[in-house]
Structure 1
Amino acid sequence: MSYKQIKWMILLIPTITVGLWEYIRHQFLMPYLSMDAGNWLTPVIVYFVSVTLLSRLFRMLEGARAALEQERASKTALEARDQLARELHDGISQSLFLLSVKTDKAGRSLAGTRHEQDIRDIQKTVHEVNTYVRQAIAQLRYVPSPAADPEAIALQSQVESIVSDTVPDAHITWHLTEVSFSAKEQVELLACIREALLNVRKHAQATQVRVHAEGSASRWSVHIQDNGVGIQGDPLQLKDRYGLRITKERAEQMGWELKLDSAPGNTQMIIGKGQN
């Protein structure tokens, strides 16, 4: 029942009740009911109708009004989040990209000098800040799902959004619906998955990418696997792979394990807990 219909029913029911009572009273009850008794019964009948039927309609009206206010507040919040995401993307994100280009140019020009390590540290910091900004933009643009299990569905939906933005052809199998992550754990896990997928897109030259998650609250894992060219040497020690080292640091700070096995045709990053 709509908000407008509830209001009209609240207005009409007392009027119809009194009119119907007066009609019955004068047409059928006059020989049996005195005028004074009928006058006393009229407010009593209206009171009982108000207590039984109108009180329920008032609760429905309050519920409808609360729902409208919540919808209005949610719309305002989403518009503010979208505006903030646009400002981050058009301002800070673009500036960080320009800064990364300049630091890369400076790193090439200062290679072999005593300032090379300083430039690498600056590049690492820029890359880390850029990762945080991308994550913030993704979180701001994400619209929570009002499902029965909102936390699990929200995490899966955000992973699907990340895959859509990075490697749209990737295949996802997600079976972590019974695992409860805190807000910080969700942010860190999503950042790790995003970094892994970005590396696949930039470097792997893969034709097949798979994101697979399974486990329970005490033992779970997320696998990001591709059939690309692989990485020569220890990927966590390469000079230009700041993102992988930052991802490993993220996992260690959260008490998780991160494994990276790379070979031509089969490269796999595993993020998990309780795997040993």
Structure 2
Amino acid sequence: MTERRAAEQALTERRRLFTHLVQAQELERRRIAWDVHDDSIQAMVAVGMRLQLLADQAGEPYARELSLLDASVREAVSRLRNLTFRLQPPGIDRHGLVESLSQHLNDVVAGSWGLEPTLEHDLEKEPAPETAITIFRIVQEALLNVRKHARARTVRVSVTTDNRGVQVQVADDGTGHAAGAHRLQEHFGLMEMRERAETAGGWWTLRSEPGTGTTVEFWVPDLPTGELDEPLPGPPVQSFDSLTAPQGPS
């Protein structure tokens, strides 16, 4: 009984620290989004307006060069606005995990990127807010990697309740990766996904082969305090030939 109480206390403390960490991360993302919107974007918009004015007043060949510079500034502003959108809180506290993922897939993945997304879900209950935010951020990063690197037409997101937690798959039909597993995990986005899952007490894997697409899969626990009858599950065992990223810190 003493060992069980000690384990319950350790779990409670870990979840408390995890909750504070997620809240701090989201607060910092919001602060960065505000700073970028109110400072960097406004400054670049002012530069773009000045370039347009100079282009109207200057003769050739300067007018054409100024117009090209203005186009580059407007493209940079557009990218910064997309960044601030990704940094904004996902609204999970209002809409729930499934609705937030569905909205992101419809508005961003299909609406802005032109991919064909599918969402499959079988949740027994809504995860805790910090767990849901962690899941959303990992899926968000995985989808961004699909857009940047996969050259895919479709992407499927699956969210299910499993082993007292939530298991998620993000699978695309893109070109896959010819690089080795150790080379893949050096990518910052993959490292961030994996660290988020492991910080939550879960696991993360990546499977990819040339011509067959890429699948990101992860599991995070969603345990009420005191549920310690069985040990938490570990990641699925897979062969190195499938280019599964090994477990452990990058």
TM-score norm. by structure 2 comes to: 0.50
- The answer to whether 1:221 aligns with 2:172 is no
The one-character-per-residue Cα deviations of 1:180-201 (angstroms, maximum 9, x if unpaired) are: 4222212111110000000001
Question: Which residue type is aligned with residue 99 of structure 2?
Answer: S
Question: Which residue type is aligned with residue 269 of structure 1?
Answer: V
CA contact (8 A) 2:97 2:132 kept: yes
- The answer to whether 1:242 aligns with 2:188 is yes
Q: How many angstroms apart in 2 are the aligned matches of 1:234 and 1:134?
A: 33
- Equivalent residue in structure 2 for 1:174, among 121, 126, 132: 121
Pairing 1:157-168 to 2, within 5 Å after superposition = 157-168=99-110
- Equivalent residue in structure 2 for 1:231, among 169, 177, 182: 177
Q: Which residue of 1 aligns with 2:149?
A: 203
User: Which runs of 5 or more structure 2 residues have no equivalent in the other structure?
Assistant: 1-30, 45-80, 111-115, 221-232, 237-250
Q: How many angstroms apart in 1 are the aligned matches of 2:154 and 2:192?
A: 25
Note the C-alpha offset of 1:173: 0.8
Q: 1:188 to 1:233 in 2, by over 3 A?
A: same
Question: Which residue type is aligned with residue 218 of structure 1?
Answer: R
Q: How many angstroms apart in 2 are the aligned matches of 1:165 and 1:89?
A: 22
Question: Which residue type is aligned with residue 162 of structure 1?
Answer: H
Q: How many angstroms apart in 2 are the aligned matches of 1:158 and 1:237?
A: 32
Secondary structure at 2:119 match in 1: strand
Secondary structure at 2:201 match in 1: coil
Q: Which residue of 1 aligns with 2:48?
A: none
Q: How many angstroms apart in 1 are the aligned matches of 2:143 and 2:105?
A: 7
Note the C-alpha offset of 1:162: 2.1
Q: How many angstroms apart in 1 are the aligned matches of 2:126 and 2:182?
A: 29
Q: Which residue of 2 aligns with 1:144?
A: 94
Q: Which residue of 2 aligns with 1:184?
A: 130
Which fold has the larger relative contact order, with Cα–Cα distance below 8 Å and residues 6 or more apart in sequence?
A: 2
Q: How many angstroms apart in 1 are the aligned matches of 2:40 and 2:188?
A: 18
Question: Which residue type is aligned with residue 144 of structure 1?
Answer: R
Q: Which residue of 1 aligns with 2:248?
A: none
CA contact (8 A) 1:213 1:223 kept: yes
Pairing 1:53-132 to 2, within 5 Å after superposition = 87=34, 90-91=37-38, 94=41
Secondary structure at 1:170 match in 2: strand
Question: Which residue type is aligned with residue 262 of structure 1?
Answer: S
- The answer to whether 1:267 aligns with 2:217 is no
Q: Which has the higher helix share?
A: 1
Question: Which residue type is aligned with residue 247 of structure 1?
Answer: M
Q: Which residue of 2 aligns with 1:156?
A: 98
Q: How many angstroms apart in 2 are the aligned matches of 1:225 and 1:137?
A: 25
Secondary structure at 1:171 match in 2: strand
Q: Which residue of 2 aligns with 1:40?
A: none
Q: Which residue of 2 aligns with 1:252?
A: 198
Q: 1:239 to 1:143 in 2, by over 3 A?
A: closer
Q: How many angstroms apart in 2 are the aligned matches of 1:183 and 1:201?
A: 27
Q: How many angstroms apart in 2 are the aligned matches of 1:193 and 1:255?
A: 17
Question: Which residue type is aligned with residue 222 of structure 1?
Answer: V
The one-character-per-residue Cα deviations of 1:10-45 (angstroms, maximum 9, x if unpaired) are: xxxxxxxxxxxxxxxxxxxxxxxxxxxxxxxxxxxx
Q: 1:137 to 1:202 in 2, by over 3 A?
A: same
